[in-house]
Amino acid sequence: MCWIHCKVFLVQTLLLYGMVKKHYVDNKRFEKLIKAYLKDKKTNEEELMSMFDKLISNIIDSFGFNVDKDDAKQECFVLILKTLKNFNPQKGKAFNFFTTIILNNLKLLYTKNKKYNEKISNYIEKVTGQHPSSL
């Protein structure tokens, strides 16, 4: 099991047993809001988006992804809104479904960001002959 899966399991376990109250996302309420939102986009939209905001922020903070938090949150929201209709309560819990989507998206953003920074660093080193950290 890789470290990301271990951390996901730990965070989900802590949330499940209520050991992290201030960051807690009530799964029953979460699923009820999702169902209501899918029937009528304006119903409970603010509360649902607030729960998604809390979930995204908790994951970014818990896993320490080295990405721009605002950009990452925005991209996660876009992806969530695209995948919201795919959620099926018979196949699993909303918390697990969206945690997986958010984590996978953040891993992708982190990897893209890391590769971009490496390319910039290599370019600067090639042009100046010095490593960017020594400038």
Q: What is the pLDDT of residues 24-46, one digit of tens each?
A: 678 888 999 999 999 988 878 89
pLDDT in tens, 53-101: 999 998 998 888 888 899 999 999 999 999 999 999 899 999 999 999 9
What token pair was written down for 122?
């290599």
pLDDT above 90 coverage of the chain, percent: 45
Average pLDDT value for residue range 49-53? 92
Contacts 24+ apart (CB under 8 A), 25-33: 25/51, 25/54, 25/55, 25/58, 25/95, 27/93, 27/94, 27/95, 30/94, 30/95, 31/89, 31/93, 31/94
Residue 49 scores a pLDDT above 50: yes
Helix (H) or strand (E) segment spanning residue 135: none
What token pair was written down for 31?
């699923």
